[in-house]
Structure 1
């Protein structure tokens, strides 16, 4: 998949859609396969945004007592690429090192072209497509290490899937409902139209002096309703099932082990 994204052109997607539309017998039922992560051997970066929904920024303020101002610049951090798993795979609880495991439903943007200093109005040209992601987070490791990389990068803590929806199916601007359920209980509900920094703004800002490459993944931020936002907090535990879904993209379901 890395090679396909790096070498593809938009015309290929149209050709594939035409071919399979004309030859439905060539398709395979989802019941007959096990879906892996869309890019199972990720070679590029995972860049994430923090506090990119106003309600979530306020939620964090309520928990920490820190400043509640809406960010004036995107807040970036990264996850290790080995954290990626697909839908139906298990999220390891790592109970020996974290007691505050949390969920974060997010829209993932997959970059399809190399670019630097990308103008906002041309951002869509550099997108390959979209997926659903769960930015699983060990909150105690985040606070204990001050920087977030460790708390965001435990093995299996980045479910992505269930597939990549090509950008032609979801033209900008994106106004997609995003939800997260834990054991079928709704925890998060918002719309990507509520992003403080929308997808074109993120791509334009991130690419300033920084080259984006095919296969790079950007997690655009999570809405309010994360486990640590409840009083008392409602962190994940072994046996919990987390379902993250985005309108027009799909859903990923992962159990905590």
Structure 2
């Protein structure tokens, strides 16, 4: 039964991707606004196929440019966030070369960054800033790696400079930075708890295989995407102070969602 469910899930995702890829490639090439919306549709359908029920608390900020700052525990966070609203991601450079995931990330119009190359940081933040200034909502997984889903790791501050770059690129007085928490709360309708949350989480030292097929065999997860109160980033804002404040807020949002899930 579990093997059959896995096969159907993979088949459904493959067919979905094949159906939308040609149109998305054209939309990206011609810079149509549709290029922002098609990935949102993909994530909505992919969540249903994969058995992920996404619940949203709070609301995305209306202001633009908008940088979302989120915790990160699994590749499945991308599906949950992508189903919540149209957006693009900031990902480490290695993801570009991953089988299947790298291709999907490029279709999502992901910005890839090489965090270990400090000399590249300025150029990378400028690229993200230009995307923000153009109206794209960007997601920064500020921990720089994946956690076990029970807490939030320290945020890295370097790419918060993208907010500064967006100010320069857009000539606006402020950028909206909004903390977001992704919480995996239930499996088959039952609370996961501290020890079962790794069913959904994919910490950095856990191989993708067998985690990915194990996740798809379960095919019955609840994820909460919790939007917090946004911060206003201006020319006088301290980037490191903003990172620390965002980290505290994301930790509070995650703790509240895990303690009292919808």
Q: Which TM-score bucket, shorter chain as reference? A: under 0.3
Which structure: greater strand fraction? 1
Which structure: greater helix fraction? 2
Q: TM-score, normalised by structure 1?
A: 0.26
Larger relative CO (CA 8 A, sep 6+): 1 or 2? 1
Q: TM-score, normalised by structure 2?
A: 0.26
